[in-house]
Amino acid sequence: MIKVVPAIDIIGGRCVRLSQGDYNRSTFYSTEPSEMAGRFLDAGLSRIHAVDLEGAKSGHPANLDSLRKLSSISGTEIEWGGGIKTREDVNAALEAGASRVVMGTTAVKDPELFKSLLLEYGSGRIVLGADVRGTKVAVRGWTETSAMDVSTLLESLTPALLEVIVTDISKDGMFSGPDPVFYKNLMNSFPSLVITASGGVGRVDDIKSLEQAGVPAVIVGKALYEGRVRLEDLDYGR
């Protein structure tokens, strides 16, 4: 059964969602991150994907206080990303309570450092976040698109890498539905990787389509906040 991982994106200690990774197209929500995490936990969803959007844009963690509040909620497993580029950043996030740290830009800009962190902390603590436009990897909080193809990136990091979150930026926050074929092709090319899909989910049927393609996990964000996917309708990975 596919595992649903709810997303909490944070700016200034508040929940926010972007459309297609555009910081100028952001929607703020009144519910604060810790309250939203409590709702997810009450619905049986313990693993939470949280992103420090300010940190992602600036290149340095900016909302560790929010991480501390989230991680203080008993029973939650916080997967934290955004601006994590150095060993010091990783340590700061783990000390603030993150269960897993998501890194993306470093894997592209300094792959040797990323590999060394994988070996030092283990692939269970360090997860690759591969954000893509088309097939090209975007970095620096989605503000810059590199020339590197996602397959090239994944090939360069295996076999040390075990888990990757692949976000389709063009679909993120648009409710247009993910592309199951894209993820299935990636899984066929890299059978040793556990791939989490992200971007585009707008209804429960989108989750089912990924499940049918064999995708092990999916991140759902804006669709939950807008009521297009209701917590009571979910029965995935509890």
Question: Domains in the chain, please, with CATH?
Answer: 3-233 (3.20.20.70)
**Contact assessment for residue 75 and residue 52, using Cβ atoms and an 8 Å cutoff:** no
Say how far apart CA 78 and CA 101 lie, in whole Å.
Answer: 9
Instruction: Note the pLDDT tens digit of each residue in 128-165.
Output: 999 998 888 988 766 777 889 999 999 999 888 999 99
Say which DSSP state 196 is in.
E
Residue 198: both structure tokens together: 């992200």
- The band of 171, judged by pLDDT with boundaries at 50, 70 and 90, is confident
Pairing state of beta strands 126-133 and 163-168? parallel
Q: Would you call 206 exposed, middle or buried from its count of C-beta atoms within 10 A (0-12, 13-18, 19+)?
A: buried
pLDDT at 141: 63
pLDDT at 33: 93
pLDDT at 139: 83
Does residue 37 carry a pLDDT above 60? yes
Q: Which residues are catalytic?
A: 9, 131
The DSSP line for 82-117 is SS--SHHHHHHHHHTT-SEEEE-HHHHH-HHHHHHH
Instruction: Note the pLDDT tens digit of each residue in 114-138.
Output: 999 999 998 889 999 999 988 889 8
Does residue 238 carry a pLDDT above 60? no
